[in-house]
Amino acid sequence: MVALAKRPINVETRPARQRRQPASKQVLWLYYTCDTDQVVDEPDHLYTQIAINYVVYNPNKKIEKYMAHIANSEDLLSRLSQQEQRFAKSCKEIMEKHLEQSVLSKLPYGYDSVTRQSLSSTEDDMVPEPQLDTFVFCKTKSDVGAFQLDDVGEEVVDLVADDLYVLRYKSIKGLVEAGRIDLI
């Protein structure tokens, strides 16, 4: 295995065609291998790492995005901690109050609901729901073995303990609810 080390390189010393941003005393962190002294620029890796850290260290972002959906479901509320439940409920109340005072009070009767488009709507059709068919980062707690990812049975993956995976949430939802897989 090749060892990687960090070395700060001033942007001003790089040729103009390699500069991605103006050279205003900015420093890029480049990685180079100790064995060959080749410089390998990995900004995409760093941007991905920053994005993952933002999601990991900002869990309230998801609660805030789907607050109305979460607050309307007792099952979803029960999965949250007491602090997260208070956050979801207060966030929903504050948003409803703000929308009522700024917009909804000025609309005609029948169109003044936060969750419904009109009186003819029988259900909450303006409440955003999470897409369960998206990919998520997850880590297995224990060996699951061969696991079927789709209904047809064509996609099978061997889930090993303490390994990281990127899988569709819809296919592993049961394992997450059973506590056999943690979302990262």
Q: What is the pLDDT of residues 155-173, one digit of tens each?
A: 888 888 888 888 888 889 8
> Is-contact 96 33, C-beta < 8 A?
no
Q: How high is the pLDDT of residue 47?
A: 67
Residue 92 near residue 73 (C-beta atoms within 8 A): no
CA 54 to chain centre: 9
Nearest to 123 by CA among 111, 115, 132: 115
- In the structure, what pLDDT confidence band is assigned to residue 72 with cuts at 50, 70 and 90? confident
pLDDT at 34 over 60: no
The better pLDDT of the pair 147, 35 is held by: 147
User: Which carries the bigger pLDDT value, residue 56 or residue 177?
Assistant: 177
- Range among 91-100, 115-124, 148-157 rated most confident: 91-100
Both structure tokens of 93? 């109340």
Domains and CATH numbers, the chain: 4-57 (no CATH), 59-129 (no CATH), 135-183 (3.40.5.60)
Residue 82, pLDDT score: 92
Residue 23 has pLDDT above 80, yes or no: no
Question: How far apart (Å, rounded) are the C-alpha atoms in residues 140 and 184?
Answer: 10
pLDDT in the model for residue 42: 57
Average pLDDT over the chain reads: 74
Residue type, 125: D
Whole-prediction pTM: 0.54
The pLDDT value recorded for residue 146 is 86
Residue 36 scores a pLDDT above 60: no
> pLDDT at residue 1 above 50?
no
How far is 55 from 183, CA to CA, in rounded Å? 11
pLDDT tier for residue 125 given thresholds of 50, 70 and 90: confident
